[in-house]
Chains A and B, each alone.
Chain A
């Protein structure tokens, strides 16, 4: 199967003014199939968010070839949407107006927007909070608004930067199930960054482990667990074996 999204030899160095340069990505390679669910795990600061921003079209790498559907990537587009690590909610917009941001930017009218945002707000469990501002929400609630906003425009590709990190364990489990349901019914391609190995295995077709900064693809694990997956799967021997293998690969990269 030809890759739907591919990155070859991607190099990126940040050059902040008045400070030394930071190499974030070095010869980074990746292939993502159409409709695939791929997770990335890697040490903090290894360039995961950076690469998602590159795919989103916000940062241009110094060198390397990035293609989507065979065509070189040219800037942002509504075929992709990101769930940002730091939420990125507009403080002057209510929950509903934040969820509808992408629809509004597409020029969609108020009634049509509402029809799409209402079920999403329900899905993330924030019915009754439509009129609240971000500063009135908890971290986990904000994160779910960010998720609903990314889903609202129905993008082909979902880029998710630790989208469940701020959630409590139970809400996280529910959101994982919702995400898998959406992914399967809407046939989306998902690139999912997380620090939780278990979450990565549970959700993904494949899991990529990255090296420490400057980030490269270190190893890719194929997750051959049957779908639909259920909660009990997390205590099977196969699951735990994968967990251990991935941890062994990852732990050498982590320096404290």
Chain B
């Protein structure tokens, strides 16, 4: 029989992690704001939290921010979606077939390690400033975590578990559904967490170089106009999206793969 639950904790004990994290953020913002009580403020070169907040509210109210984000979301969905499909498929083949991985490992590692964003202007030259050019940059940046993680996941499949299911009369289909997919899936989701960050970089870079709309373009344009409050507001929006996506995936991982907690 199970024992009774642990003694009750107070509110601050239970949420200590979150509270301390929020406290640090608050101190950072307050310090930023306070610096300009002593240092002279010039809004052409710097900005401060209260101005950024005002700009953010205005950008949201006017619908500009939402429109830019919606525009950028389209190539992101295409590029990231393609990265999932291609990366997982390629990674599984590389994990399964030793020769394929011998052949492709070096070149993949080189690509993964190299600063691929440097190729962005080239991609834009070939594919234009539209959705396809941006989607390709996002794809190139976010595909590698899927490849490497799917490969590692396949390699980590425990032979013993395959044997267990086979010995109990499991079919090929059972091996996939009951052993291989549950072993590999957590690796792929962990890859997605890394890939999201790289994909968002892809979108910004793509729109910095050449674009006439989208959130990256908005950041670049506000920078050129010395409208730093609005520039920071857009950066803040991207930041929030990045945190929500990666933390969302982390949360989903914990909910979907509770057995990983012990690893």
Interface status of A110 (Cβ within 8 A of chain B): no
Interface size on A, residues (CB 8 A): 28
CA distance A57 to B164 in the complex (A): 11
**Chain B, 222-263, contact with A by CB distance < 8 Å: what is the 0/1 string?**
000000000000000000000000000000000001110111
Find chain B residues with CB under 8 A from A88 CB. Answer: 160-161, 163-164
| B168 contacts A105, C-beta separation under 8 Å | yes
Q: Provided the pairs A84-B160, A136-B262 are in contact, do residues A128 and B169 lie with their beta carbons within 8 angstroms?
A: no
Find chain A residues with CB under 8 A from B174 CB. Answer: 105
Find chain A residues with CB under 8 A from B2 CB. Answer: 128-129
Interface status of A44 (Cβ within 8 A of chain B): no
Interface status of A91 (Cβ within 8 A of chain B): yes
| B169 contacts A58, C-beta separation under 8 Å | no
Which A61-109 residues sit within 8 Å CB-CB of chain B?
A: 76-78, 80-82, 84, 86, 88, 90-92, 101-102, 105-106
| A133 contacts B262, C-beta separation under 8 Å | yes
Q: Provided the pairs A133-B258, A134-B259, A135-B262 are in contact, do residues A105 and B160 lie with their beta carbons within 8 angstroms?
A: no
| B169 contacts A105, C-beta separation under 8 Å | yes
**Chain A, 123-160, contact with B by CB distance < 8 Å: what is the 0/1 string?**
00001110001111000000000000000010000000
CA distance A134 to B178 in the complex (A): 16
Interface status of B1 (Cβ within 8 A of chain A): yes
Interface status of A56 (Cβ within 8 A of chain B): yes
Where chain A touches its partner, the secondary structure class is loop
CA distance A105 to B170 in the complex (A): 6
Query: Chain B, interface size: which category?
Result: 20 to 34
| A86 contacts B160, C-beta separation under 8 Å | yes
Smallest CB gap from B258: residue in A: A133
Q: How far is the CB of B29 from chain A (nearest CB, A)?
A: 40
Find chain A residues with CB under 8 A from B259 CB. Answer: 91-92, 133-135
Smallest CB gap from B257: residue in A: A92
| A92 contacts B160, C-beta separation under 8 Å | no
Find chain B residues with CB under 8 A from A81 CB. Answer: 167-168
Find chain B residues with CB under 8 A from A86 CB. Answer: 160
| A78 contacts B262, C-beta separation under 8 Å | no
Smallest CB gap from B1: residue in A: A128
| A135 contacts B169, C-beta separation under 8 Å | no
Interface status of B131 (Cβ within 8 A of chain A): no
CA distance A16 to B174 in the complex (A): 27
Find chain B residues with CB under 8 A from A127 CB. Answer: 1
| A58 contacts B163, C-beta separation under 8 Å | yes
Find chain B residues with CB under 8 A from A77 CB. Answer: 169
**Chain B, 156-177, contact with A by CB distance < 8 Å: what is the 0/1 string?**
0000110111111110001000
Which chain A residues have a beta carbon within 8 Å of chain B's beta carbons? 53, 56-58, 76-78, 80-82, 84, 86, 88, 90-92, 101-102, 105-106, 127-129, 133-136, 153
Extra contacts, 17 of them, besides A86-B160, A91-B259, A153-B168 (Cβ < 8 A), are: A56-B167, A58-B166, A76-B167, A78-B169, A82-B167, A84-B164, A90-B161, A90-B164, A92-B257, A101-B165, A101-B178, A102-B168, A105-B168, A105-B169, A133-B258, A133-B259, A135-B263
Selected A-B contacts with CB under 8 Å, 13 pairs: A76-B168, A81-B167, A82-B167, A84-B160, A84-B164, A90-B178, A92-B182, A92-B257, A105-B168, A127-B1, A133-B262, A135-B259, A153-B168
